[in-house]
Structure 1
Amino acid sequence: MTRILMQKAAPATYKALIALDTAVRDGIDPALAELIRIRASQLNGCAYCLQRHTADARAAGESEERLTLLSVWHDAPNYFTEAERAVLALTEAVTTLPPGGIPDEIYDRVADHFDEYRTGQLIGLIFTINAWNRIGVATGLVPESAGQLTNR
């Protein structure tokens, strides 16, 4: 079955998501944003987004060690700051939506490091990458060399 490319099939929706993606970046460290995008993409199984954001993180100077350990960040406390660990916990909770919602402990950890504006931006960044992941998985996007778009 041939699947769609969202930018061609639903251009207004695609443009709106791009605008949202741009808006949620304000005030967020680009390296932290890539860690969020990579972790959510790992959890959602979006190969295209994982390849794209891992490449973006490398281009921004992220180390191979940290990228390798990101999926097991819980077990690598010396590689991620407490603020990063708080955001990664929030990323996992927003992505998987545990029964009962986001635990206060996770929210409070983030609030210890970020003001209300940045906390809102982080939540927006997390739900935006989740939307991109769902588009990628639903439309069968797979990575090719040099980050080209293709469907399964």
Structure 2
Amino acid sequence: MTDNATTTTYAAEPPVRLEWARHAPEVYQAMIRLDSAARKGLDPQLYELVKIRASQINRCAYCLDMHTKDALAAGESVERIVQLAAWGESRHFYTDKELAAIELTEAVTVLTDGFVPDEVYERAAKWFDEAELSRLVAAITVINAWNRFGVTCRLTPGHYQPGQHR
């Protein structure tokens, strides 16, 4: 009997460049507290969509792995997660409130394009009260910080399980 199964060999997993959380635990714990405070009062699925979109823009594979898994665990659909990278052409997958949050996420994440445009901010302010909008801006800010740790320290995706801390 012959074995027709082929074995796929993947590229080697790159080593973590810096275990920053181990070397600066007080900073890591402060980030955890900030993240926890920012998420309060935000819809869990919306929160994860924001985290995924910022992580796509920042090309943080570690955070993409984490937040897509967390989004699925929170009940998000695979289809909406997949379409998020092309949300502008896939607007019909999202509510107007989600679209306002995604657009604000892009504006806050890509500050090299200039300031957050008034019209983007105003669309978000239409859908979120001031407390919720403040938490949304905080959540976007926090994921951008996490992305910078992940990309700079070359954190390795693929090992996170929903419910784990970072």
| 1:137 maps to which of 123, 131, 151 | 151
Determine the C-alpha separation between the residues in 1 that align with 2:57 and 2:89.
16
Deviation per CA, 1:14-73: give whole Å up to 9, x if none: 111111001101110010000000000000000000011000001111111101100011
| 2:132 maps to which of 100, 118, 122 | 118
Q: Identity over the aligned pairs, expressed in percent?
A: 49
- The answer as to whether partners of 2:66 and 2:160 remain within 8 angstroms in 1 is no
Equivalent residues, number = 147
Q: More helix per residue: 1 or 2?
A: 1
Name stretches of at least 5 consecutive residues in structure 1 with no aligned partner: 148-152
Q: TM-score, with normalisation over the residues of structure 1?
A: 0.92
Deviant stretches of 4+, over 3 Å: none
Q: How much does 1:142 deviate?
A: 1.6
Counterpart AA for 1:33: Y
Counterpart AA for 1:14: Y
- The answer as to whether partners of 2:50 and 2:105 remain within 8 angstroms in 1 is yes
Secondary structure of residue in 1 paired with 2:39: coil
Counterpart AA for 1:42: Q
| 1:49 maps to which of 30, 54, 63 | 63
Secondary structure of residue in 2 paired with 1:112: helix
Rg larger for: 2
- Check 1:28–1:2 CA distance in 2 against 1; reply closer, same or farther (3 A cut): closer
Tell me the equivalent position of 2:108: 94
C-alpha RMSD of the superposition: 1.3
- Check 1:109–1:98 CA distance in 2 against 1; reply closer, same or farther (3 A cut): farther
Determine the C-alpha separation between the residues in 1 that align with 2:78 and 2:106.
21
Q: TM-score, with normalisation over the residues of structure 2?
A: 0.85
Name stretches of at least 5 consecutive residues in structure 2 with no aligned partner: 1-14, 162-166
